[in-house]
Structure 1
């Protein structure tokens, strides 16, 4: 696993040990950023099920200004911090150990808005539509913002949720990617 492009191109990233975290493969990550970027002129991002931090770190490497990383697994939080240190991004991030909905509620109280949100939950624990609904109802996505979801390829999620519509859907083996934008 590595950073694909940008200021940290080629930098290796450590994975979370064990089987609880499923890292996004380099192929899928590259495809996602080719669709949504490939580069950014600033902005704020949220990596809600951060795992090793690969998606948020890739966004930072490609020009996003700041990222909030959230993961419930203490080992994942430790690996995220290590990967951020190796990429020298510590001053551009906040890292939290928290459950996804509790984190979203805390973020909503801060009235933050994101240009890019990654939702890559464990396949067995997906509540993507509920989380996206919360994000929209609490105005956490900027007007031109994008939500990138990663899910089991066999899972079908709605083509529209509130005022978001499916911008693009792709499948890579057993991984499905659904990207939402404001209508």
Structure 2
């Protein structure tokens, strides 16, 4: 695993030992960023279920201003810290050991709004759409934010959920990537 493009291009990234995490392969990561970028002009990224932190690190390398990394596993948090340091991004990364739902509630208190969100939960979890809607309800996503959901190929998320519209869906063997855009109407955006 490595950083594919941008300022940290070529930097190697460590994997989490064991089989508890399923890191996004370089091939899938390259395909994801071709669909959502490939480069960015600032904004905040949220890497929920961060695992190795590879997606958030790639986003910073390609121009995101900052990224928040959240994972429940201590081993993953240690690897994310090492990978962020290897990419020289410590000043642009926040790393939290927490449950995804609890982290969402805590982030709401900071009045953050994310332009890019990575949801790569364990395949046994089938509620990324519920998490997406919770992010919207708590005003944690900017209008036109891009949300990437990585999931098992046999599972299909809806083409629309709340104010999210599916832009693309691509299968890579056992892995499927669904890309959504957050398009709130005036009422959802608080009349803005």
TM bracket, shorter-chain basis? over 0.9
Other structure's SS at 1:125 match? coil
- Structure 1: how far apart are the matches of 2:63 and 2:20? 30
Match of 1:155 in 2: 155
Deviates more, 1:135-144 or 1:15-24: 135-144
Match of 1:59 in 2: 59
- Structure 2: how far apart are the matches of 1:66 and 1:132? 20
Aligned-CA RMSD value: 0.8
- Structure 1: how far apart are the matches of 2:7 and 2:137? 35
| Residues 51-93 of structure 1: per-residue CA shift (max 9 Å, x gap) | 0000000001101010000000000000000011111100001
- Structure 2: how far apart are the matches of 1:130 and 1:42? 27
Instruction: State the aligned residue count.
Output: 183
Match of 1:72 in 2: 72
Task: Give the TM-score normalised by structure 1.
Answer: 0.98
Runs of 5+ consecutive residues of structure 1 not aligned to the other structure: none
Q: Matches of residues 9-24 of structure 1 in structure 2 within 5 Å?
A: 9-24=9-24
Q: Matches of residues 74-153 of structure 1 in structure 2 within 5 Å?
A: 74-153=74-153
Greater per-residue helix proportion:
1
Task: Give the TM-score normalised by structure 2.
Answer: 0.93
Runs of 4+ that moved beyond 6 A: none
User: How far apart are residue 178 of structure 1 and its match?
Assistant: 0.5
